[in-house]
């Protein structure tokens, strides 16, 4: 008798500014996942936060006219609740998801998906899910708190300061003085967003206000970072209690820095896998990637980004992505493939880690 397939819910879309990137990642995951082992259930979330069952979720992935998705929104809603099997029951989605799911793979980037909100939602329903839990997700999303934790653990980070929207409204001059203390150029970023959305490089004091305004369009909290003349190095991490690091890769952006256009649109950025680094520096970034992952209480997966200075090969942590990109051009699956773990087996391992973590947590119940 053949073994019953695990039902895997793949959740994508969402309300964040990274909605389109999530769709690209989801297409890639759905193409790569082993259909012989898993019954895959696509679940879409629109930009307005509506949950769509599989048939309508496909409209998000295929780029169907927005009016069609809008029509679907008015006909859909979702309820998550625990069952005796500790799986998910989704009601009122046209009856399409009446059976429980065995595990959820959130392919959501940014707020309302990668920041602990979805993870808390799934924890309440006692559902296994891929990736970090609430704490690791929240710390990994907030670039300011992330750096505070890393610094507490003695890990090397790029220097930064935090500004909030209310401060900018009350006293712009004070904010500009604080943001200018690193000199120029400097980077201004939304604290809780990824995919380079809303990031600006201020080359001088005249450009700084516009960069802050743009970042504040996406988040009420922004960070200003010291400029580092460094190479952009990325390491993929996989595991729970004993995480492992992939070989490092390097991004050579097509633009002045690795902005949204360079990442996803122009197709001209260069990836070097493995990164051409001295062996001791390569080992250093792998070691720091695991330490950074562990310090934030992450689990399952994470991509840790570094700067390696052009003079002196100093290694500095930049940030972590707890739900890294899974698009065809994304470094996370490419780094693991180059390390010896192909895409389909990577998905298998992530699902295994999700269930392992859920089983351990349920020993407390």
- What one-character DSSP code corresponds to residue 364? G
| Catalytic residue IDs | 18, 195, 264, 303, 305, 319, 321, 325
- From the number of C-beta atoms within 10 Å of its C-beta (0-12, 13-18, 19+), residue 152 rates as exposed
Secondary structure (DSSP) of 56-122:
HHHHHHHT--HHHHHHHHTT--------TTS-B---SSTTTT-SPBSEEEEE--STTTTSSHHHHHH
Q: What are phi and psi of 26, to 5 degrees?
A: -65, -40
Q: How far apart are CA 111 and CA 279, in angstroms?
A: 37
Q: Residue 358 and residue 352: Cα distance in Å, rounded?
A: 10
- Other C-beta atoms closer than 10 Å to the C-beta of 315 total 19
Residue 301, φ and ψ in degrees, nearest 5: -145, 160
Question: How far apart, in whole angstroms, are the C-alpha atoms of residue 93 and residue 188?
Answer: 41
d(CA 324, CA 262): 17
Kind plus residue range of the DSSP H or E element containing 31: helix 19-32
Q: Is the dihedral of CA 30, 35, 38, 44 positive or negative?
A: positive
Rounded CA-CA distance 31/39 in Å is 13
Residue 232, token pair as written in the block: 């952009």
Cα 361 from Cα 30, distance rounded (Å)? 28
Query: CA 336 to CA 339: how far, in whole Å?
Result: 5
Instruction: Please report, for residues 78, 125, 213, the alpha-carbon distance to residue 90 in angstroms, rounded to integers and kept in the order given.
Output: 6, 11, 40
Q: What CA–CA distance (Å, rounded) separates 240 from 320? A: 16
């Amino acid at each position: 008798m053949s073994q019953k397939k695990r039902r895997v819910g793949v959740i994508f879309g969402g309300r964040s500014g990274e909605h389109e990137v999530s769709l690209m990642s989801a297409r890639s995951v759905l193409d790569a996942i082993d259909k012989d082992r898993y019954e895959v259930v696509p679940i879409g979330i629109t930009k307005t936060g509506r949950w769509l069952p599989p048939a309508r979720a496909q409209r998000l992935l295929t780029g169907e006219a927005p009016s069609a998705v809008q029509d679907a929104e008015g006909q859909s809603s979702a309820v998550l609740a625990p069952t005796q099997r500790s799986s998910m029951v989704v009601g009122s989605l046209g009856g399409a998801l009446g059976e429980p799911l065995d595990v959820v793979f959130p392919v959501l980037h940014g707020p309302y998906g990668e920041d602990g909100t979805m993870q808390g939602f799934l924890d309440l329903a006692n559902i296994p899910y891929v990736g970090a839990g609430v704490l690791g997700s929240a710390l990994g999303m907030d670039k300011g708190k992330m750096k505070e934790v890393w610094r507490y653990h003695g890990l090397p980070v790029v220097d930064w300061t935090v500004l909030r929207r209310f401060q900018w409204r009350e006293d712009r001059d004070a904010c500009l003085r604080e943001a200018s203390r690193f000199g120029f150029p400097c980077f201004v970023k939304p604290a809780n967003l990824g995919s380079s959305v809303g990031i600006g490089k201020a080359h001088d004091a005249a450009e700084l206000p516009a960069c802050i305004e743009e970042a504040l369009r996406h988040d009420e909290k922004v960070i200003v970072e010291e400029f580092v003349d460094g190479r952009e190095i990325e390491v993929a991490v996989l595991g729970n209690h004993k995480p492992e690091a992939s070989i490092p890769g390097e991004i050579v952006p097509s633009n002045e820095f690795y902005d949204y256009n360079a990442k996803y649109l122009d197709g001209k950025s260069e990836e070097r896998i493995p990164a051409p680094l001295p062996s001791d520096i390569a080992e250093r970034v792998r070691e720091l990637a695991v330490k950074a992952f562990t310090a934030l209480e992450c689990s399952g997966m994470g991509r840790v980004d570094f700067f390696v200075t052009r003079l002196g090969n100093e290694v500095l942590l930049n940030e972590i992505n707890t739900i890294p990109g899974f698009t065809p051009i994304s470094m996370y699956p490419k780094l693991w493939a180059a390390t010896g773990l192909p895409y389909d087996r990577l998905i298998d391992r992530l699902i295994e880690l999700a269930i392992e973590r859920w089983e351990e947590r349920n020993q407390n119940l």
